[in-house]
Amino acid sequence: MNDNNNDPFSEISSDKEIIEFSDESGREYSVEVVYAFSIEDNEYLLCSPIQDGDFDLINLESDGFHSEVSGFCVLRLEQDYEGEEHLHEIVDIQELDEIKDFLEETFVENA
């Protein structure tokens, strides 16, 4: 077991939560939830792709806040009018920059 005290995600439970979903064209993906967080009124999941084919989901480079992996998939969790939860891939650069700043402040400065 690699004991890395500088790993900001070391406090996260060892119980892995795997999410499987499909995109609009029916392609299926599997990701592991690494961290759940909120910024303002938005809820997000920081995920790590599981299979090599899922690495095209990476929308956030991890330089600066986690050096173990090259990047993560950030998904926004939203509820529709019926209360069902839906995951949305973040593609807006400004939103991704805000998320990266939040993660760097949360994990790098508290390490």
Span 15-58, pLDDT tens digits: 679 988 887 888 888 899 989 999 999 999 999 888 877 778 88
Question: Measured at the alpha carbon of residue 73, what is the angle toward residues 71 and 79, in degrees to the nearest 5?
Answer: 160
pTM: 0.76
Cα 65 from Cα 101, distance rounded (Å): 9
pLDDT (0 to 100) of residue 14: 52
Q: Is the pLDDT of residue 76 over 50?
A: yes
Q: What is the average pLDDT value for the chain, to the nearest integer?
A: 79
Nearest to 99 by CA among 79, 75, 69: 75
Q: From the CB of residue 62, how many other CB atoms can be counted at a distance below 10 Å?
A: 17
What local confidence, expressed as pLDDT, does residue 68 receive?
A: 63
